[in-house]
Amino acid sequence: MRLNSEFDSLDTYMSVYGVHSCSGSMLRIYLKEGLGVSSELRSIFHRRYFYDPWARRKYREVKMIDGLLVAQLESSDEWIQYNDKTISEEILKYEYVGGCWFVFEGVFCSFRKIEKYLSDHDKKEEGKIVEELVFSKATYEGLTKYLLEGVLDVPPGPGWVSWEVYAKSFYVEIPE
Protein backbone atom coordinates (compact mmCIF):
# COMPACT_ATOMS: atom_id res chain seq x y z
CA MET A 1 0.00 0.00 0.00
CA ARG A 2 1.29 3.44 -0.93
CA LEU A 3 0.69 6.21 1.58
CA ASN A 4 1.21 9.71 0.22
CA SER A 5 1.92 11.66 3.37
CA GLU A 6 3.64 14.95 4.04
CA PHE A 7 7.09 14.06 5.30
CA ASP A 8 7.02 16.88 7.85
CA SER A 9 3.85 15.42 9.44
CA LEU A 10 5.78 12.26 10.40
CA ASP A 11 7.75 12.04 13.65
CA THR A 12 10.95 10.20 12.72
CA TYR A 13 13.11 11.13 15.72
CA MET A 14 12.66 7.80 17.58
CA SER A 15 12.84 5.71 14.41
CA VAL A 16 14.91 2.57 14.00
CA TYR A 17 16.08 2.01 10.42
CA GLY A 18 17.13 -1.21 8.74
CA VAL A 19 18.42 -1.92 5.27
CA HIS A 20 18.25 0.46 2.34
CA SER A 21 18.35 -0.12 -1.40
CA CYS A 22 19.26 2.13 -4.29
CA SER A 23 17.92 1.60 -7.79
CA GLY A 24 18.29 4.20 -10.51
CA SER A 25 17.25 7.45 -8.87
CA MET A 26 15.13 5.74 -6.18
CA LEU A 27 16.20 5.27 -2.56
CA ARG A 28 14.22 2.93 -0.27
CA ILE A 29 14.90 2.89 3.49
CA TYR A 30 13.27 0.27 5.72
CA LEU A 31 11.80 1.70 8.91
CA LYS A 32 11.61 -1.08 11.52
CA GLU A 33 9.87 0.88 14.29
CA GLY A 34 9.58 4.18 16.09
CA LEU A 35 7.60 6.19 13.53
CA GLY A 36 5.10 8.61 14.98
CA VAL A 37 2.00 9.18 12.84
CA SER A 38 -1.40 10.74 13.41
CA SER A 39 -4.07 8.61 15.10
CA GLU A 40 -6.03 8.42 11.81
CA LEU A 41 -3.11 6.65 10.10
CA ARG A 42 -2.06 4.17 12.81
CA SER A 43 -4.62 1.52 11.91
CA ILE A 44 -3.20 0.98 8.40
CA PHE A 45 0.19 -0.15 9.75
CA HIS A 46 0.74 -3.80 10.66
CA ARG A 47 3.29 -2.93 13.38
CA ARG A 48 1.78 -0.78 16.15
CA TYR A 49 2.94 -0.53 19.74
CA PHE A 50 3.28 1.70 22.81
CA TYR A 51 6.68 2.47 24.30
CA ASP A 52 7.63 3.21 27.89
CA PRO A 53 10.84 5.28 27.53
CA TRP A 54 11.58 5.10 31.26
CA ALA A 55 11.43 1.29 31.56
CA ARG A 56 12.40 0.76 27.88
CA ARG A 57 9.51 -1.62 27.28
CA LYS A 58 7.27 -2.08 24.25
CA TYR A 59 3.60 -2.99 24.65
CA ARG A 60 1.30 -4.45 22.03
CA GLU A 61 -1.89 -3.63 23.95
CA VAL A 62 -2.76 -1.13 26.66
CA LYS A 63 -5.83 -0.49 28.83
CA MET A 64 -6.68 2.20 31.34
CA ILE A 65 -8.33 0.87 34.52
CA ASP A 66 -9.27 3.47 37.14
CA GLY A 67 -6.75 5.91 35.62
CA LEU A 68 -3.88 3.42 35.72
CA LEU A 69 -2.26 1.77 32.75
CA VAL A 70 -2.27 -1.99 32.31
CA ALA A 71 -0.11 -3.06 29.36
CA GLN A 72 0.78 -6.32 27.63
CA LEU A 73 4.45 -6.73 26.76
CA GLU A 74 5.09 -7.01 23.04
CA SER A 75 7.46 -9.95 23.43
CA SER A 76 5.28 -12.09 25.73
CA ASP A 77 1.81 -12.53 27.19
CA GLU A 78 2.84 -10.83 30.44
CA TRP A 79 0.77 -7.84 31.61
CA ILE A 80 2.34 -4.96 33.56
CA GLN A 81 0.27 -2.73 35.84
CA TYR A 82 1.38 0.82 36.60
CA ASN A 83 0.78 2.46 39.96
CA ASP A 84 1.24 6.08 38.89
CA LYS A 85 -1.52 7.93 37.01
CA THR A 86 0.82 10.57 35.59
CA ILE A 87 3.21 7.98 34.10
CA SER A 88 0.21 5.98 32.85
CA GLU A 89 -1.06 8.99 30.90
CA GLU A 90 2.41 9.83 29.58
CA ILE A 91 2.97 6.37 28.09
CA LEU A 92 -0.19 6.75 26.00
CA LYS A 93 1.61 9.59 24.17
CA TYR A 94 4.31 7.17 22.99
CA GLU A 95 2.41 5.19 20.37
CA TYR A 96 4.47 4.20 17.34
CA VAL A 97 4.29 2.21 14.12
CA GLY A 98 6.85 0.49 11.91
CA GLY A 99 7.42 -2.21 9.33
CA CYS A 100 7.30 0.12 6.32
CA TRP A 101 9.55 1.63 3.67
CA PHE A 102 10.39 5.29 3.12
CA VAL A 103 10.62 5.73 -0.66
CA PHE A 104 12.37 8.72 -2.21
CA GLU A 105 12.08 9.17 -5.98
CA GLY A 106 14.19 11.41 -8.20
CA VAL A 107 17.04 11.29 -5.69
CA PHE A 108 19.94 13.65 -6.35
CA CYS A 109 22.11 12.66 -3.42
CA SER A 110 21.92 11.20 0.03
CA PHE A 111 24.40 11.62 2.86
CA ARG A 112 24.50 9.43 5.93
CA LYS A 113 26.37 10.21 9.13
CA ILE A 114 26.54 7.38 11.68
CA GLU A 115 27.88 7.53 15.22
CA LYS A 116 28.66 3.93 16.17
CA TYR A 117 27.76 2.60 19.60
CA LEU A 118 29.54 0.36 22.02
CA SER A 119 27.64 -2.68 23.34
CA ASP A 120 24.55 -0.64 24.28
CA HIS A 121 22.83 2.35 22.70
CA ASP A 122 23.85 4.75 25.48
CA LYS A 123 27.62 4.97 24.97
CA LYS A 124 29.12 6.48 21.83
CA GLU A 125 32.46 5.16 20.67
CA GLU A 126 35.07 7.88 20.15
CA GLY A 127 36.28 8.43 16.59
CA LYS A 128 33.82 6.05 14.92
CA ILE A 129 31.91 8.37 12.61
CA VAL A 130 31.08 7.05 9.15
CA GLU A 131 29.94 9.27 6.30
CA GLU A 132 28.69 7.73 3.11
CA LEU A 133 27.65 9.24 -0.21
CA VAL A 134 24.85 7.13 -1.64
CA PHE A 135 23.84 9.09 -4.74
CA SER A 136 25.41 11.95 -6.63
CA LYS A 137 24.05 13.69 -9.72
CA ALA A 138 24.18 17.14 -11.23
CA THR A 139 21.77 19.60 -9.55
CA TYR A 140 19.64 20.31 -6.48
CA GLU A 141 17.17 22.38 -8.51
CA GLY A 142 13.52 21.52 -7.83
CA LEU A 143 14.36 18.98 -5.13
CA THR A 144 13.13 18.75 -1.55
CA LYS A 145 15.51 18.20 1.35
CA TYR A 146 14.44 15.39 3.74
CA LEU A 147 16.14 14.90 7.11
CA LEU A 148 15.92 11.63 9.03
CA GLU A 149 17.37 10.84 12.45
CA GLY A 150 17.25 7.75 14.56
CA VAL A 151 19.03 4.46 15.11
CA LEU A 152 20.59 2.49 12.27
CA ASP A 153 20.20 -1.16 13.29
CA VAL A 154 22.23 -2.75 10.46
CA PRO A 155 25.93 -2.43 9.45
CA PRO A 156 27.75 -0.09 9.53
CA GLY A 157 25.68 0.42 12.72
CA PRO A 158 24.33 -0.04 15.20
CA GLY A 159 24.49 3.64 15.85
CA TRP A 160 22.77 6.99 15.69
CA VAL A 161 22.13 8.03 12.10
CA SER A 162 21.48 11.41 10.52
CA TRP A 163 20.38 11.05 6.92
CA GLU A 164 20.01 13.92 4.46
CA VAL A 165 18.18 13.09 1.22
CA TYR A 166 17.52 15.42 -1.73
CA ALA A 167 14.70 14.07 -3.90
CA LYS A 168 11.74 15.03 -6.09
CA SER A 169 9.14 13.08 -4.10
CA PHE A 170 8.51 10.94 -1.06
CA TYR A 171 5.95 8.35 0.04
CA VAL A 172 5.57 5.57 2.60
CA GLU A 173 5.14 2.01 1.33
CA ILE A 174 3.33 -0.37 3.69
CA PRO A 175 3.72 -4.05 2.73
CA GLU A 176 0.41 -5.87 2.29
Residue 24 pLDDT class (50, 70, 90 cuts): confident
- 146 and 120 fall within a common domain: yes
- 7 and 89 fall within a common domain: no
**Cα-trace Rg, the chain:** 18
Supply the DSSP symbol for 11.
B
pLDDT tens-digit map of 53-76: 999 999 999 999 999 999 999 999
What total number of domains does the chain contain? 2
Q: Contact, 167 vs 137, CB < 8 A?
A: no
> What is the pLDDT averaged over residues 108-122?
68
Q: With left for phi above 0 and alpha for psi between -120 and 50, is residue 34 left, alpha or beta?
A: left
- 104 and 26 fall within a common domain: yes
pLDDT tens-digit map of 30-47: 999 999 999 999 999 999
pLDDT of residue 118: 54
Q: Is 43 part of any domain?
A: no
Residue 117 pLDDT class (50, 70, 90 cuts): low
Q: Is 44 part of any domain?
A: no
- 139 and 167 fall within a common domain: yes
pLDDT of residue 133: 52
- 128 and 161 fall within a common domain: yes
- 156 and 69 fall within a common domain: no
